[in-house]
Amino acid sequence: MDEKTEKVLLGSGHLFIAEITEAGVIPEGLFEEANNVGCISGGAELSYTPTLYDVECDDGEIHNTYITKEEVILKSGILNWDLANLEKLSVGGAYNSANKTLKIGGKKSVKQYAVGFKHEEDDYSVEIAMLGRANKGFTVSFSKEKETITDAEFKANKDSSGTLVTIVEKDAE
């Protein structure tokens, strides 16, 4: 079996969320430590769901297939408590770091972010990058038996080249 098919990924990684400085472009510094949201819990999940339309004859033969819709969702859970992260997970939130206050609601526009996930193995890493927006808001639970983990779910928007998500494998430096 060649080396490529021998690779097995195991373990979680780091989640990065960055402000977009140029519309439709993932910033080069997305995977810098300043954009690391902190410790995550429960891993991360990337899903790609295409919706296809088949042009069929009456005899059932498919003449052509078109992609009518594509959806990419990145889910994770953030363990570190940080209101600045909650602002990014709320579609209409505004965080004021001076008085440590997050206000949610009342905004009409939805802010986009660059979102990245990095998984590292001994000799290589996998980086997932996309432009996206918080898809489902968040739920914060305060429990006496379980630590508070904020669910993070981002839906990808196409970048300026029409790409929804980029997955890059890098050899360790």
Partner 1 sequence: MIREIISYLREKTEYKYYFGEANIKNIPCVIYSFSDSLNNGTIRKSRLELNIAVKGLNENSIIKAEEIKNKINSLILTFGDRPLSARILSVEQNGGGLARNEGANTTHQFLYYDIIYKER
For partner 1, which is the closer residue by CB, 14 or 88? 14
For partner 1, which is the closer residue by CB, 26 or 40? 40
Query: Residue 41, interface with partner 1 (CB under 8 A)?
Result: yes
Those residues whose C-beta lies under 8 Å from the C-beta of residue 78, and which sit 6 or more positions away, are: 15, 37, 38, 39, 40, 41, 85, 89, 149, 150, 152
Query: Residue 10, interface with partner 1 (CB under 8 A)?
Result: yes
The contact mask relative to partner 1 for 110-149 (x = CB under 8 A, - = no) is ----------xxx---------------------------
Query: Residue 1, interface with partner 1 (CB under 8 A)?
Result: no
Write the CA distances from 157 to 7, 11, 70, 133, 149, integer angstroms.
30, 27, 10, 8, 25
CB 105 within 8 A of CB 61: no
Query: Residue 22, interface with partner 1 (CB under 8 A)?
Result: no
Query: Residue 45, interface with partner 1 (CB under 8 A)?
Result: no
Which of these, 8, 158, 168, lies nearest to 70 by C-alpha position? 158
Q: Which of residues 69-88 bind partner 1 (CB under 8 A)?
A: 79-80
